[in-house]
Amino acid sequence: MCLHNPDEHMATMVAAVRDHLGSAPFDLAIILGSGLGQVAADVKDVTTWKYDAFSCFPPGTVAGHAGQLTAGTLHGRRALVFQGRFHVYQGLSAWQASVPVRLSHALGCARMLLTNAVGGIHSELLPGHFMFVSDHLNLLGDNPLRGLSGDTFIDLSSLYRNELFPSLQSEALSRGIPLHRGVLAAVPGPSYETPAEVRALKLLGADAVGMSLVPEAIMAGYLQMEVVGLSFTANRAAGLDTQCLCHEEVLARGRLGAADLSGLVEGLCRLWFP
């Protein structure tokens, strides 16, 4: 396997952002999951770039993902907001799926907030609830560090900023937003899990299941970025509810949860920065 160059194809995108917004490092990068793109409306002094205009982004988008990078000021911080992410189920590698993280790092960003839509496995994770990702199970069959040179044997035992959870949960409670903490299982997709697979995931310790976030979290850890993961429960996982699972319903639920996510992001910005 050929080794990847972390800076390959990114120079044009990095230059475009710096030409418009200066060379100062960004404070925060956010990747928005399915149906959650409305959060980008909170960004002030906005500049937007379409993914398909730059070769560093893989081709193809998924319904519910705008496919653009929005940059500006968010709650007083210089922020990059990725409206749309990349998935292994698109036929991409985990390395390709992590391109927003690598771009954020190239622009000097040290904090990464990852969001996604998931199916709730734990009995308390109901549609409309959020889960603070405390840990993950990588069942994708791929790792974004595969094939890289250098020290890729990184310790992931403290990947997520779990010490922020108690304060963020208090913030969520004050806003009437249900926020739990749990383990995310990442599966390849694109088909939803079977009830038998969900039962197996529960035995493995998963509280929720999704098809994203983990490659980005691993890459962020490798690049020594701080990571917070917030999963929005769009539905109960297969076999735990009578409702038929479909992507349109996930997007509809996500749009309803976007306002709550905006509140959590505002609270997180106060807690995360000194």
In order of their start, the domains of the chain are 25-256 (3.40.50.1580)
Distance CA(114)–CA(39), nearest Å, equals 13
Distance CA(169)–CA(199), nearest Å, equals 28
Distance CA(172)–CA(160), nearest Å, equals 18
Q: Using CB atoms within 10 A of its CB, is residue 6 exposed (0-12), middle (13-18) or buried (19+)?
A: middle
Is 133 in contact with 235 (CB distance < 8 Å)? no
pLDDT tens digits, the chain, 274 residues: what are they? Answer: 334 444 667 899 999 999 999 999 999 999 998 777 778 889 999 999 999 889 889 886 665 557 899 999 999 999 999 998 999 999 999 999 999 999 999 999 999 999 999 999 999 999 999 999 999 999 999 999 999 988 999 999 999 999 999 999 999 999 999 999 999 999 999 999 999 999 999 999 999 999 999 999 999 999 999 999 999 999 999 878 767 666 566 566 656 667 899 999 999 999 999 7
Q: What is the pLDDT at residue 229?
A: 98
For residue 116, which of 143, 89, 87 has the smallest C-alpha distance? 87
Is 89 in contact with 34 (CB distance < 8 Å)? no
Cα 151 from chain centroid (whole Å): 24
Pull the structure tokens for residue 65.
Answer: 């993902």
Q: What is the pLDDT at residue 149?
A: 85
Please give the DSSP secondary-structure letter assigned to residue 25. Answer: P
Q: What is the pLDDT at residue 134?
A: 98
Is 68 in contact with 51 (CB distance < 8 Å)? yes
Q: What is the pLDDT at residue 67?
A: 86
For residue 44, CA distances in Å to 35, 71, 81, 166, 192 come to: 21, 8, 11, 29, 37
Handedness of CA 136, 93, 212, 168 (dihedral sign): positive
Distance CA(16)–CA(252), nearest Å, equals 33
Q: What is the pLDDT at residue 241?
A: 74
- Tokens 């969520």, located at residue: 172
Rounded to 5 degrees, φ, ψ at 135 are -170, 175
